[in-house]
Structure 1
Amino acid sequence: MPDAALRLKALLEQLQGSPIPVRIRAWDGSESGPPDAPALVVRNRRALRRLLWKPGELGMARAWVAGDLTVDGDLYAALEAMAALVWERGEDARTLGEALRDPDVRAAVRGLVKMAGPPLPPAPPREEVRRRTHLHTKRSDRRAISHHYDVGNDFYELVLGPSMVYSCAYWESPEGALEDAQRDKLELIARKLDLKPGMRLLDVGCGWGSMAIHAAREHGVSVVGVTLSQEQAAYARKRVAGEGLTDRVEIRVQDYRDVTDGPYDAISSIGMAEHVGSDRYLDYARDLFGLLKPGGRLLNHQIGRRPWRDETRYEVDEFIDAYVFPDGELAPIGGTVTQLESAGFEVRDVESIREHYALTLRRWVANLQADWPAAIRFTSPGRARVWLLYMAASALAFERNRIGVNQVLAVKTPDTGTSGMPLRARSWR
């Protein structure tokens, strides 16, 4: 009688020291666990070998990306159930080394090894990128950006929808349309920057050109957008031409560190600063400060994490680092504000829109799931699985306040102290 699921569940609970909150469905057709829970489908023994050779998040990710491990049922419910096992282990949870000192745990591991079959470790999926350290040279940043963004504009069109905005939308209500919420986000940024006809805007990390087009079309400004992605730049230039805005919008494949044609009246940096790196962040802030006119404004839209207990030790998110954003680093909002002010900026407003990103990500996940065959056709099965897992898990992380997103409005206030800001805060609403 097939019993792999029952044995696997018992072994995992022995390792964990508590019941497994999902149903296990194994490669031999057996099932075990709560009948109403989402099912974690272990499709082959190779999934066990991945987990044994790389216990924790990276082993799970490799099994998922390779298709050895899937979920049957509500993906969000499955991730919620698995969070305590993989991503949100309590401070009192024992480490793997501590667990292996327990004779029962060692017996459980021997049982898993026996079930897993041949002892050789499977090769990581081809979508995995490994780095030695957070270099953040121009070359390494260009390579990291290409890994994430040069996966096909057709794929991103499917996920992002017509707006082609790859950052948190700004929702009036959860029932609203994604494209309307993205337009409202771009308009919110334009108003915070107080864009007016004749001004020059630098859009750092311009993506597929949405902010540049909105600013030029709706506010009459001249825009320079810079990106390190060749595919993004080609797509953005085509959109600009289609809007008849080539006289007002220039899209460059250029590192922001190489921009020398300032000063600009305003700078937007939307979802780009996460790629800068903690060691380079002050330089990033100083570079943008130097590119602004006195009185010019910077709108820095950036994902932030909760502070760690030990900020002297960098904690790598193995899945994100290996498959999604190589060399990406998140900082707490307090550190971001401090670095901007150290560079010379006067920070005038900080707005958290954390819940808005959870709503945005759930819409992207829905878009991806609605046309899964096309998503695979546009990229690869493994890459599509990466995006599905990372967006769904990120939605839950925003909802649970594990990460947030903030818009920081900063001014290059001249020596006279005249900031040009309105007397009443947030008059742009």
Structure 2
Amino acid sequence: MGGAAVRLKGALELVAGGEVPVRIRAWDGSEAGPEEGPVLVVRNRRALRRLLFKPGELGLARAWVAGDVTVEGDLYRALELLAGVIWERGEEAPSLAQSLRRADFRRGVVGLIRLAGLPLAPTPPPEEARRVRHLHTRHTDRRAISHHYDVGNEFYSLVLGPSMVYSCAYWSEDDETLEAAQRDKLELVCRKLGVGAGQRVLDVGCGWGSFAIHAAREHGARVVGVTLSQEQAALARKRVADAGLTDVVEIRVQDYRDVDDGPFDAISSIGMAEHVGAEKYLEYARRLHQLLAPGGRLLNHQIARPPRMDETAYEVDSFIDAYVFPDGELAPLGTTVTQLERAGFEVRDVESIREHYALTLRRWVSNLEDGWERALKLVSPGRARVWQLYMAASALAFERNRIGVNQVLAVRTPESGSSGLPLRTRVWAG
């Protein structure tokens, strides 16, 4: 069948230098490409304008969020097929300047411009964050956290389920419930930290209070949880009250840099350190070291990316920076361990739980898709589409080892040299 789809497929293949791996349906109803598998639906010419104005991941994300493109069929399969074109071209992928020297590339761009029409710079969807340089001041961090978390506790409840834990679960079997796997993760953190009755625990980036409640209810700890999100804090306090734990759990809207009532016996940082940034990471590590009592433990649960051959710096993902985690930065595991050691910590254990996050994300996507109509009543269609794409693409990224997640256990070892850890640490007793 001819029409816009054939012309679009041909132009995209000239630009990409290879076949488009999915079937395309254009705005005029025409189709082109493989008969089997998912279909990339290009609903209007504005989608092409977005791709031309911001080639690559960000342009495609804008088109997805705005509803200019969608997928019919298996979204995961579509993303797998498109990964080699969009995300996984590797360090040897040609630069724009190199591509422009190819006659086929130039002809493809001209073809896309003719199909797209004018204007070529459509306004970004309203869900896109207003970004500034990654300053990581108290003000910019508060604004970034608000963009991500203050979108409604009901929406997060729909996606995360009753556990209200927004970090990687810890699975034993694929058919285990999400709530059980999240409970097991909270218990694993408590055991690694050696949380016991009467101990003071600081939960940095406490979210909706799930870890604080677990540590207090199951292990008798006294917990201070800090978050920059007003909405998170409000629900966390209600959950603490409903659990009858207001005398042992305190939830604060506070920057971790402003916590001044240490020392604590243990500190949990679960899915928070990704927000800290390269320039502030050593300050973060040193501050947590100062807040711990001698012999105190830190559990740093953090997403990482593989190192590149020629650098160890932090990395920002354009789609995630614009729509999900403004100012979020991912570093290699080795960089994180080095910074913790520079701050004075003794790193005692590192556990990779990469596959666990893929399983978690797939459950969250299912929750969102099962509750799609309710989600659209809680947030904008664009915001729901952001989450659908972000979580599905992230699940594949974890499965393909493009990113990982690690639990790093570190100790503020006292001058005596006694870490207080058992000889066989993976027992996690005491």
TM range (shorter): over 0.9
Task: Give the stretch that moved more between structures: 310-319 or 413-422.
Answer: 310-319
> Helix, strand or coil: the match of 1:8?
helix
Q: In the alignment, residue 179 of structure 1 is paired with which amino acid?
A: E
> Helix, strand or coil: the match of 1:422?
coil
- Residue 97 of structure 1, CA deviation: 2.1
**What is residue 192 of structure 1 aligned with on the other side?**
192
Offset from partner CA, 1:140-191 (integer Å, 9 cap, x none):
0000000001110000000000000000000001111000000000000001
Contact 1:351 1:406 in 2 (8 A): yes
* 1:103-114 map, 5 Å: 103-114=103-114
Offset from partner CA, 1:13-32 (integer Å, 9 cap, x none):
11111111000000000111
**What is residue 47 of structure 1 aligned with on the other side?**
47
2:362 pairs with 1:374: no
Q: In the alignment, residue 183 of structure 2 is paired with which amino acid?
A: R
2:201 pairs with 1:201: yes
Q: In the alignment, residue 51 of structure 2 is paired with which amino acid?
A: L
**What is residue 155 of structure 2 aligned with on the other side?**
155
Offset from partner CA, 1:251-296 (integer Å, 9 cap, x none):
0000000000000110000000000011111110110011111111
Contact 1:264 1:296 in 2 (8 A): yes
Q: In the alignment, residue 95 of structure 2 is paired with which amino acid?
A: T
**What is residue 265 of structure 2 aligned with on the other side?**
265
- Residue 103 of structure 1, CA deviation: 2.2
**What is residue 318 of structure 2 aligned with on the other side?**
318
**What is residue 74 of structure 1 aligned with on the other side?**
74
- Residue 377 of structure 1, CA deviation: 1.1
* 1:88-127 map, 5 Å: 88-127=88-127
- Residue 106 of structure 1, CA deviation: 1.6
**What is residue 387 of structure 1 aligned with on the other side?**
387
Q: How far apart, CA to CA, are the structure 2 residues paired with 1:269 and 1:130? A: 27
- Residue 314 of structure 1, CA deviation: 5.4
> Helix, strand or coil: the match of 2:293?
strand
2:224 pairs with 1:224: yes
Contact 2:189 2:299 in 1 (8 A): yes
Q: How far apart, CA to CA, are the structure 2 residues paired with 1:341 and 1:187? A: 26
**What is residue 133 of structure 1 aligned with on the other side?**
133
- Note the residue ranges of structure 1 that are not aligned, 5 or more in a row: none
> Helix, strand or coil: the match of 1:361?
helix
Q: In the alignment, residue 131 of structure 1 is paired with which amino acid?
A: R
Q: In the alignment, residue 67 of structure 1 is paired with which amino acid?
A: G
> Helix, strand or coil: the match of 2:84?
helix
- Residue 313 of structure 1, CA deviation: 6.2
> Helix, strand or coil: the match of 1:266?
strand
Contact 1:2 1:28 in 2 (8 A): no
Q: How far apart, CA to CA, are the structure 2 residues paired with 1:426 and 1:2? A: 62
- Residue 2 of structure 1, CA deviation: 5.6
**What is residue 166 of structure 1 aligned with on the other side?**
166
Q: In the alignment, residue 411 of structure 1 is paired with which amino acid?
A: V
* 1:176-191 map, 5 Å: 176-191=176-191
Q: How far apart, CA to CA, are the structure 2 residues paired with 1:89 and 1:261? A: 49
**What is residue 413 of structure 2 aligned with on the other side?**
413
Contact 1:397 1:403 in 2 (8 A): yes
**What is residue 25 of structure 2 aligned with on the other side?**
25
- Say if 1:315 and 1:281 are closer, same or farther in 2 by CA, change over 3 A: closer
Contact 1:22 1:81 in 2 (8 A): yes
Contact 2:152 2:378 in 1 (8 A): yes
> Helix, strand or coil: the match of 2:115?
helix
Q: How far apart, CA to CA, are the structure 2 residues paired with 1:2 and 1:96? A: 30
Q: How far apart, CA to CA, are the structure 2 residues paired with 1:296 and 1:343? A: 14
> Helix, strand or coil: the match of 1:125?
coil
Q: In the alignment, residue 36 of structure 1 is paired with which amino acid?
A: E
**What is residue 59 of structure 2 aligned with on the other side?**
59
Contact 1:265 1:297 in 2 (8 A): yes
Q: In the alignment, residue 35 of structure 1 is paired with which amino acid?
A: E
Contact 1:357 1:405 in 2 (8 A): yes
Task: Give the stretch that moved more between structures: 393-402 or 108-117.
Answer: 108-117
- Residue 118 of structure 1, CA deviation: 1.7
% identity of equivalent residues: 74
Q: How far apart, CA to CA, are the structure 2 residues paired with 1:428 and 1:420? A: 11
Q: In the alignment, residue 78 of structure 1 is paired with which amino acid?
A: A
- Residue 129 of structure 1, CA deviation: 1.4
Offset from partner CA, 1:47-72 (integer Å, 9 cap, x none):
01111111111110110000001111
Q: How far apart, CA to CA, are the structure 2 residues paired with 1:313 and 1:190? A: 31
Contact 2:277 2:314 in 1 (8 A): no
Q: How far apart, CA to CA, are the structure 2 residues paired with 1:90 and 1:417? A: 45
Q: In the alignment, residue 139 of structure 1 is paired with which amino acid?
A: H
Q: In the alignment, residue 228 of structure 1 is paired with which amino acid?
A: L
- Residue 108 of structure 1, CA deviation: 1.8
| Alignment size in residue pairs | 429
Contact 1:5 1:26 in 2 (8 A): yes
Q: In the alignment, residue 6 of structure 1 is paired with which amino acid?
A: V
Offset from partner CA, 1:52-110 (integer Å, 9 cap, x none):
11111111011000000111110000000111111011333322222222223222211
Q: How far apart, CA to CA, are the structure 1 residues paired with 2:46 and 2:38? A: 21
Q: How far apart, CA to CA, are the structure 1 residues paired with 2:94 and 2:274? A: 31
Task: Give the stretch that moved more between structures: 287-296 or 306-315.
Answer: 306-315
Contact 1:130 1:321 in 2 (8 A): no
- Residue 40 of structure 1, CA deviation: 0.6
Q: How far apart, CA to CA, are the structure 1 residues paired with 2:132 and 2:180? A: 41
Contact 1:163 1:179 in 2 (8 A): yes
2:251 pairs with 1:251: yes
- Residue 310 of structure 1, CA deviation: 3.0
Task: Give the stretch that moved more between structures: 360-369 or 125-134.
Answer: 125-134
* RMSD across aligned positions (CA): 1.2
Q: How far apart, CA to CA, are the structure 2 residues paired with 1:386 and 1:130? A: 16
- Note the residue ranges of structure 2 that are not aligned, 5 or more in a row: none
Contact 1:2 1:29 in 2 (8 A): no
